[in-house]
Structure 1
Amino acid sequence: GLPGAVNPIQLKNDTRSWTDRNNDLIPQLDELGPSTGYNLGTTNRYNPDLKRPYSNELNVEIERQILGDIVVNVGYFHRDRLRTIGRRNMAVPRESYTPLQVTERTSGRQVTVYNQAPALRGLFDVLYDNAPENDGFYNGLDLGFNKRMSKHWMVMAGVTLERNHGRQDLTGDLNDPNIQYSRGLFQNDVPVALKTSGVYELPWGINLSGNMRHFTGFPEDTTVLVGPNTVALTQVSQSIRVEPRGKTRYPNVNMTDLSLKKIVRLSERFTAEPVMDIFNVFNAAPIQLWISQLGPTYHRPSSILGGRLFRFGLNVNF
């Protein structure tokens, strides 16, 4: 957190170039390039006039009962995140970076990378201050429908439309021009989310319930890594965002779950309730996480939605 930014006791790492001159695949000290520096707590400071961040929220919701057992509702939600805190390395001003047009070797993507002035390598004077460019906002609209239990069935449904927008690199150096497309959709932005759930009372005291969910896939953060194999940089390597977050998204997710249960009275004091749950009924397998760095492994999945799952249980009450 922010208090830890000025703590002089920290674990840090260093990135250096390495030229394996004797081809033994073992780094020797004389084969390593110059240090990129260590940004410890002693190189960080707060603006003495720093002001506390705050949020403004506006929530409006209307609910109306219609046709006896049917209720509909609509809600609007807005939130502003203001006076957020950012960090700026005053020892390396923005104008000290030199733009370079390069073709990244691994992906073949043409990008603009900004090279830090060699004379300023490893210098840190990081100022934490209120940064308007870090501010963000959220807009959300909820629409709901609820048919209360009657005639042995009930159903609830809702749709959420939202936009979560702001600066993504809240901990990045505001003086670093390599942080491109810095403002945009947040990683958890979901423009459309729908959910429906219901219960139906079958004969013989059996209850069937289920829910269906749909939501838009999360935004992808598409990057390339410009390293020594492309161009020699003062900072050794540099990750570059090549398009606005959300231009490419992960696949949409659709899930259906079902549950069957029945209460069996064993005596005046004891009841048993056998339960069968089926999760992900249609065995959907959308990719939830993949490699978003351009190159030969781009879009290689690293996580998918769990497959169909049956669960059997027994609840005993006494």
Structure 2
Amino acid sequence: MQAEYPVTRFAPSPSGLLHLGHALSAVLGARLARAGGGRWLLRLEDIDTTRCRPDFADAIHADLGWLGLVPDSVLVQTTRRDAHDAALARLTAMGLTYPCFCTRADIAAAAAAPHGAQAAYPGTCRGMDRAEAAARAGSRDPAIRLDVEKAAAVAGPLTWMEAGQGRMVADPLGEGDIVLARKDIGVGYMLAAVADDAFQGVTDVVRGRDLIESTPVQRLLQALLGLPEPRYHHHRLLLAPDGRRLAKRDRAETLAALRAAGVDGPALAARLADLPPGGPDCVFLP
């Protein structure tokens, strides 16, 4: 049973500096929680230790403080590795995972062929016999994938509750057999996020509509693991002046740069809070 009051979370990865799109998610999540007398949480999703850095984590705290946002609690995701591993082990015990030895080049080549055009990953290693798996294991460490078709058959029909729209059909097959874990980082984002949302009692997930495609697979994982279903609020995106989506990899203007330029953080947060969460994506100038 969900709590009567909303619990939301802001869950950035400390792999770069935050931009205005992150600020909008943080502000809208905090507003929803505070308006309902609930709690707003910060989760630092630092499980990809190949990319995450302590200085970026420090910058997240500084940016939120500048905006006037104070989380009720902070969770560092790497402290939950044992729970993530247990969730993966449970899915494996259900017969729903398999080792994948494909490189990115292998997957790209297979996806370019007609038989692989329908899925992000064409299932090359699915159903591989133990002897072949053992032979391949000698050459490289496998990733662990979810057999999504088998998992969906176990879970049955799925939906999610989208704020302002009602029940949406969740079809997890479109993303192919997703990677649940890799040798270099352990359990990945999809599985860790749903495990941690349940652990933190998150009732409402507030995030940009660019992440809506993650929702069907996350609903699948929740159903398989018997985890509670949160409500989802996929808000509009903020765009760069040239119309591109703001992204760390494109070096979008950072909150740290705005802070250094003397922009009033609380005033900026108030302006973001006044933006309707729905509607078309838009350019927002601080």
TM-score w.r.t. length of structure 1: 0.23
Larger Rg: 1
Higher relative contact order (CA 8 A, sep 6+): 2
TM-score w.r.t. length of structure 2: 0.24
The structure with more strand, counted as a fraction of residues: 1
